Structure 1
């Protein structure tokens, strides 16, 4: 699902936050994501899955959300709960919200100025003719050297 959304929105420039962290900090970040996801999903369980199943569910969430900052994840979780209070999200829903928020923020940034057009030499044809004469002389000298 996330891939389909990304294709619709065009190429994404996703900064891989988790990969930019030192190993110890990344472990803390991933543990924090597990706790955040647990808090998010807690109210949606009718019957809580087994510990082994929960571990697999959380691992999928952690792998998906590892690329995003705590602030982005928290904002997306809050946005989801506000918009969908009765529907349990999956990790693709939260990831898509972060990607959409990033796209909005990127679109709001000022556009870089257009590069200045470089002026063309005044006498393009004269320069082109001179270049052809130089190349013709080079080619004829090069052929003469091989003929000897």
Structure 2
């Protein structure tokens, strides 16, 4: 996939994290964090630890919210469920979920960039010029290529 990308990408690359929180009002950010906390609670229930205190659970939710607030609700749900499908016995950290999100975002951007690049098969030549030059080069190369002598068995 990368061989079709130009050697130098002139368009600026987007941030690895979408920065959603910067565009939200304080009330919207609070509501967004609550929806993230709700989703995290649901997924973390699969990794129930009875010895965890309420204080630790609250701190863990706050940590997840801090790390995931820049991602949309749909992206967070996708990443949490993907983690659970791939790692049903291993409890995620916020870093695990962010790594999944960044990887998916990077792959999406790479696909979009590759699709936007239209490879120039003839390096600025018209199709007719390309065919003419190819024929000339074939003729010149034919002069250098000599048939191998047959070997008697």
- SS of aligned partner of 1:43: helix
Which of these residues, 32, 35, 38, is aligned with residue 35 of structure 1?
38
2: CA distance, partners of 1:96 / 1:12: 16
2: CA distance, partners of 1:86 / 1:111: 40
2:29 aligned partner: 26
Within 5 Å, give how 1:1-148 maps onto structure 2.
13=15, 14-109=17-112, 110-111=115-116
Q: What do you get for the CA RMSD once the two structures are aligned?
A: 1.9
Higher relative CO (Cα under 8 Å, sequence separation at least 6) belongs to 2
2: CA distance, partners of 1:107 / 1:43: 33
1:46: Cα distance to partner? 3.0
Moved runs in structure 1, 4+ residues, more than 2 A?
110-114
1:111: Cα distance to partner? 3.4
Instruction: List runs of 5+ in structure 1 lacking aligned partners.
Output: 1-10, 115-148
1:45: Cα distance to partner? 1.7
Q: Which has the higher helix share?
A: 1
TM-score scaled by length of structure 2: 0.63
**Cα distance change, pair 112–23 in 1 and its aligned pair in 2 (3 A):** farther
- SS of aligned partner of 1:88: coil
2: CA distance, partners of 1:48 / 1:85: 20
Instruction: List runs of 5+ in structure 2 lacking aligned partners.
Output: 1-12, 120-153
TM-score scaled by length of structure 1: 0.65
